[in-house]
Structure 1
């Protein structure tokens, strides 16, 4: 699709981060153009772990069922053993809560679904929203900023063109052109190891039997081998370390790869079809900054992580959601531009933490409680009396005021940002930490802005709203409660 009007925002990159950002912007009516140098979405599974917080965001957009339709029937845990066929081994965490724990803290659960299923779901949803255009096969070759806008030069085949927009978002991956054009450097340990990857088909579900997990770590002499299921049938990824300074891809012809896969499976005559081979490096870096005037970075353009802890794609999606709603507020006239300063202030520490964790060379780092970090800043989930509606389901695109049954709430003052008032039952109010007579004001992403013990008068609400549109949450705002 090509734009019918000049876009307000250009998103460079149609991976999970870029698509998430574009959806969040389009929900606010922002004219958005997504440009992607590839001529089609990636046909490779890439990341498969969609964590709890990401699924909460997808649920809010009505996409949970569509994503689960391509999920793999496995436990979101790893299996550590000698071969896939060997019954000896142990289960290890992948950073997902158990189903029982998830049920107590969230209205949803994480999922194991390949990225080549997730991306089409996001793209289809994006194209159903008004004001959004997508140009595949369009590569950014230059950016030029002035005080009022950014001019983007695109190359499509043998032709070049320019598009002007108020903001540009770089979601164009680890080798980001947007980041380079914006003059933003990366810092961190850099490359931490080289790996060979093989996408193949084989009837391994019959081999693992009931030991169905999201990842299999095979302990051998030297670095472990990894097997990753990537669909509901027989498509898998096998990866192992290699030394590209002493080896070439020619050293790994299909017949040798088949033998390696059979050795890892523990089945000497396993019927195996090699689909694709490639190589990649474990890399850990983060951008010096996430913004250069009217240009923002998200996802792998802002932070490069190793697969350890399965945080890369999820961190990218959370970046995109955060920037999308904040930029949407600003462009809708709900908030001042100062709100955009909170994007880097809130997201870069998360990117740095997750990058440093992924760089941890110990394969034994305990990731079992990592999911708590993703939900630590939002209000707690509790089911309302109907048993179907979560406290998280009450949140709108603007601000939401949740009040206990005995709270006095003045009529919402007139503000550019809409304020939705919701009254909750006593048990839910207690779970929210406000008590039966209390009130809490919450941002679109679930972060509390302010709390009151008994009444929320017009003046105090106005002060809280002013703080919210500047990006201040109750971490830095004196509490009325």
Structure 2
């Protein structure tokens, strides 16, 4: 890293955490820190919100976070209408031959539990898929963050360089007007995208498949698009025309739409395209529209080989790039922010052990690899179908019908990837150094369904624990000891006392219903600030101070199957 700092008498801003990048991940990190009383400064080149929708799916886990912040309703109000079932349509040409239609629960069905026999996801979370473009989400995140005094936002500024020492980071930022300023921070987090200056300056490289293929996105306005194709409102419309493979995305459900045009032939140029011809072939007929933006981009499956270098961390696209099939990119990045924020709180407030910040990479990097590989596999399935699609699917008569029947079966096969609740809710930190294993088998990790469990490292289970109250609503901003309805709280007091003595923010919360208690599987479940289980037991831990030392990163957690002779090092009494 070059040192642009020490020779310029620049004004100095001192802040505990400097965040490079003010997209959804950087804004989420700043918000979580602010909620914990940790000051930060967000550096973002753009002064206004993005005009391009970019990410268009907020997953259930991210919506659970937004519920904690109190902005879930605002996000839903700006999303596709709540009574609209989540439809994904496959067609040859959109206005001609529909092949298959995949349906998920609407947000109304998710709330009321209606149709749970058909949609098991209503049992797993208060939320399902929420479709909202990033251009509509960012204003909500910016406005919410503006309500915190602990968060400083520097829009129109760019990070130009930084150095670090044992105690922190020196950075220089520059305004679009040419003004420059020095920032001194304890920690720098690069949330500055796939071309991250922070990652490059650290010398951190991406590993994985890398760029997979070229794509072009056409953002357009067409108020009567639904009438043009006659398929009704759907969230995604995949077209399998041999000359125009791609997918239409409903951005606002009325007049804004995006078409991702997929290129299977690496020799085919993505430049100088006839946009009207591309869209006419995808729909099956010409139509009028206003082209708003053309974006050239690539499919990637890449993960940074290091997520922490000294006092500098990577998150979001700076740490991982995904294929968009699965809607995991932004959501995984926000998960990074959620994990990192409470660990930075512990570090800056003095209760973290020496290993807590290292656990960020240990926990989040495997999730990025998991989600990236599964997203790439989803893309590969679609690519296989597109590569095998013959022009006969466009033909009239028996020849065309036979070809479409074969293609319909393939579309049904591809559509299984959209049963993705397990991807968004089922991830767990299975070999985390800061979760206390109890020796029980790990629940299945199934991309299509959620096996709710309090197994250490899993997301704490959701169940309705009263009228409109989720068990997730019982969890506090710090650590929460969740106690079964009929359990005596006295045995848990030594664990709470040990946590308080170590400086951890901790509370206890009793469940109200036996249904909720059954989901939590043990009488006592200690949940971390990010909503993942740190420890569980039916009795108090034999050595509560050792449990606390593990979960705050002051003591290495034993892996399952490696207890000390004759006893579990940090287990429960038996």
- Common fold: TM-score over 0.5: yes
> Which residue number corresponds to residue 182 of structure 1?
202
Unaligned runs of 5+ in 1: none
> Which residue number corresponds to residue 235 of structure 2?
214
Q: Pick from 185, 189, 198: which aligns with 1:165?
A: 185
TM-superposed CA distance for 1:68, in Å, is: 0.6
Unaligned runs of 5+ in 2: 1-10, 111-115, 383-413, 427-457, 561-568
Alignment of 1:122 with 2:141, yes or no, is: yes
1:281/1:401 Cα in 2 relative to 1: closer, same or farther (>3 Å)? same
Q: Residues of 1 paired with 2:488 and 2:149: CA distance? A: 39
Q: Residues of 2 paired with 1:118 and 1:395: CA distance? A: 25
Alignment of 1:59 with 2:139, yes or no, is: no
> Which residue number corresponds to residue 465 of structure 1?
548
SS at match of 2:210: strand
Map 1:235-246 → 2, pairs under 5 A: 235-242=256-263
Q: Is the 8 A contact 1:284 1:305 kept in 2?
A: yes
Q: Residues of 2 paired with 1:300 and 1:387: CA distance? A: 39
1:225/1:449 Cα in 2 relative to 1: closer, same or farther (>3 Å)? closer
> Which residue number corresponds to residue 429 of structure 1?
517
1:301-340 C-alpha deviation (Å, 9 max, x unpaired): 0011111222111111111111112212222333224211
Q: Residues of 2 paired with 1:64 and 1:113: CA distance? A: 12
TM-superposed CA distance for 1:288, in Å, is: 0.6
1:15-71 C-alpha deviation (Å, 9 max, x unpaired): 111111111111111110000122322111111111111111111111111101110
Q: Residues of 2 paired with 1:423 and 1:77: CA distance? A: 39
SS at match of 1:320: helix
CA RMSD of aligned residues (A): 2.6
> Which residue number corresponds to residue 37 of structure 2?
29
1:154/1:431 Cα in 2 relative to 1: closer, same or farther (>3 Å)? same
> Which residue number corresponds to residue 401 of structure 2?
none
Alignment of 1:399 with 2:479, yes or no, is: yes
> Which residue number corresponds to residue 279 of structure 2?
261
TM-superposed CA distance for 1:224, in Å, is: 1.9
Structure 1 segments, 4+ long, off by >6 Å, are: 93-98, 471-475
Alignment of 1:6 with 2:14, yes or no, is: yes
Q: Residues of 2 paired with 1:275 and 1:176: CA distance? A: 26
1:106-155 C-alpha deviation (Å, 9 max, x unpaired): 12232001111111111111110121111112111111011111011112
Alignment of 1:82 with 2:83, yes or no, is: no
Map 1:300-311 → 2, pairs under 5 A: 300-311=317-328
| Greater RCO (Cα-Cα under 8 Å, separation 6 or more) | 1
Q: Residues of 2 paired with 1:374 and 1:247: CA distance? A: 35
Q: Pick from 415, 425, 441: which aligns with 1:375?
A: 425
1:154/1:93 Cα in 2 relative to 1: closer, same or farther (>3 Å)? farther
1:158-177 C-alpha deviation (Å, 9 max, x unpaired): 23321110000000000000
Q: Residues of 1 paired with 2:227 and 2:278: CA distance? A: 19
Map 1:49-448 → 2, pairs under 5 A: 49-73=57-81, 74-86=84-96, 88-92=98-102, 99=110, 100=116, 101-157=120-176, 158-202=178-222, 203-209=224-230, 211-221=232-242, 224-242=245-263, 247=269, 249=271, 251-252=272-273, 256-268=274-286, 270-360=287-377, 361-363=380-382, 364=414, 366-376=416-426, 377-384=458-465, 386-410=466-490, 411=493, 412-413=496-497, 414-415=500-501, 416-425=503-512, 426-434=514-522, 438-448=523-533
TM-superposed CA distance for 1:206, in Å, is: 2.2
SS at match of 2:355: helix
Q: Residues of 2 paired with 1:365 and 1:182: CA distance? A: 40
Q: Is the 8 A contact 1:95 1:369 kept in 2?
A: no
> Which residue number corresponds to residue 40 of structure 1?
48
Q: Residues of 2 paired with 1:94 and 1:315: CA distance? A: 21
Q: Residues of 1 paired with 2:232 and 2:570: CA distance? A: 51
1:274/1:222 Cα in 2 relative to 1: closer, same or farther (>3 Å)? closer
Q: Residues of 2 paired with 1:404 and 1:4: CA distance? A: 51
Q: Is the 8 A contact 1:449 1:474 kept in 2?
A: no
TM-superposed CA distance for 1:197, in Å, is: 1.5
Q: Is the 8 A contact 1:95 1:310 kept in 2?
A: no
1:75/1:207 Cα in 2 relative to 1: closer, same or farther (>3 Å)? farther
1:72-93 C-alpha deviation (Å, 9 max, x unpaired): 1354342111122235221247
Q: Is the 8 A contact 2:27 2:141 kept in 1?
A: yes
Q: Is the 8 A contact 1:283 1:306 kept in 2?
A: yes
Count residues in correspondence.
468
Q: Residues of 2 paired with 1:95 and 1:222: CA distance? A: 33
1:170/1:307 Cα in 2 relative to 1: closer, same or farther (>3 Å)? same
SS at match of 1:8: strand
TM-superposed CA distance for 1:215, in Å, is: 1.1
TM-superposed CA distance for 1:208, in Å, is: 4.8
Q: Residues of 2 paired with 1:473 and 1:217: CA distance? A: 47
1:322/1:200 Cα in 2 relative to 1: closer, same or farther (>3 Å)? same
1:139/1:111 Cα in 2 relative to 1: closer, same or farther (>3 Å)? same
> Which residue number corresponds to residue 451 of structure 1?
536
